[in-house]
Amino acid sequence: MSLERSAERDEALRAMLPHVPRLGWSRAALRAGLAATGGNPDAAAWLFPRGPVGMVEAWADLADRGMAEEAATRGIESLRVSQRIRALVALRLERQAPHKEAVRRAVALLALPWNAPAAARATARTVDAMWLAAGDASADISFYTRRATLAGVYAATLAYWLQDPDPERQATLAFLDRRLAEVARLNRPRRAA
């Protein structure tokens, strides 16, 4: 399912973020954000017709785009691919740090069984955005295996980060490094016995 993008939706998401920790991903938070920025609170009814889940998916997409744009300015293309992926996951967490409670509430909402399709779509978009920002141009089976592997690494790292109280994320980044090292170890060719 493709995601509708517009400047109005992006601005509404940015406006509602400060209200999400108190009001959750809700139309009330969206109305509060719109009112605080001088927007029309009634726009909450038509900006996100799929409700809170649609808001979370759109916010994840906005975060993906922001991550990719910032990564392009950081010159990660000079890094090895594994280092690019590490940099992108770290960048995504860095950019989300001011909104950690909103991320926590988004993850909780997407963890509900009936929201599993939305969670899968959001995760797929995020790991695809990371691989594209890393310069992946694969068109074979590795396209899928890379994304599936990164989905597991990213989900585990995100869960670790949500409980990590350190604003510098040192333990989270060490956790990420261990996960990436495990993936690299699994991908090494085995010697015949």
pLDDT recorded at residue 187: 72
Please report, to the nearest 10 degrees, the dihedral formed by the alpha carbons of residues 105, 107, 108, 112 taken in order: 140
Could you read off the pLDDT tens digit of each residue along the chain, which spans 193 residues?
568 888 999 999 999 999 999 999 999 999 999 999 888 888 888 899 999 999 999 999 999 999 999 999 998 988 999 999 999 999 999 999 999 999 999 999 999 999 999 999 999 999 999 999 999 988 888 899 999 999 999 999 999 999 999 988 999 999 999 999 998 888 776 665 5
pLDDT recorded at residue 190: 63
pLDDT recorded at residue 39: 85
Distance CA 52, CA 30 (A): 9
Which among 70, 75, 67, 54 has a CA at the least distance from the CA of 12?
Answer: 54
Distance CA 158, CA 50 (A): 25
pLDDT recorded at residue 53: 96
Asked if 91 contacts 157 with a C-beta cutoff of 8 angstroms, the reply is no
pLDDT recorded at residue 144: 92
pLDDT recorded at residue 193: 56
Token representation of residue 186: 């699994």
Please report, to the nearest 10 degrees, the dihedral formed by the alpha carbons of residues 89, 94, 95, 101 taken in order: 110
Distance CA 67, CA 94 (A): 9
Distance CA 88, CA 9 (A): 24
